[in-house]
């Protein structure tokens, strides 16, 4: 799955990702950028 890395300013493949549910009920896929190591999140929608 791909997400937008704010530090690289490019779409990157999410490394070591997992699906989580935030406090507001939204689901997200969170992992690391393979280039710079910054946390990358992709919002999937409501649960």
Which secondary structure element, helix H or strand E, spans residue 18, and what is its range? strand 15-21
* pLDDT band, residue 47 (cuts 50/70/90): low
Residue 4 pLDDT exceeds 80: yes
Domain residue extents for the chain = 2-46
pLDDT at residue 8, rounded to an integer: 95
Give the number of other Cβ atoms within 10 Å of residue 4's Cβ: 13
Q: What is the average pLDDT across 19-35?
A: 95
Give the closest residue to 30 by CA, choosing from 21, 22, 18, 38: 18
pTM of the model: 0.82
Which tokens in the block code for residue 42?
């992709």
Local structure of 10: helix, strand or coil: strand
Confidence of residue 42 (pLDDT cuts 50, 70, 90): very high
Compute and round to an integer the Cα radius of gyration of the chain.
10
């Amino acid at each position: 799955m791909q997400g937008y890395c704010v530090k690289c300013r490019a779409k990157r493949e999410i490394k070591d990702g997992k699906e989580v549910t935030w406090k507001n009920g939204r689901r997200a896929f969170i992992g690391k950028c393979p280039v710079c190591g910054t946390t990358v999140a992709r919002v999937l929608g409501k649960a």
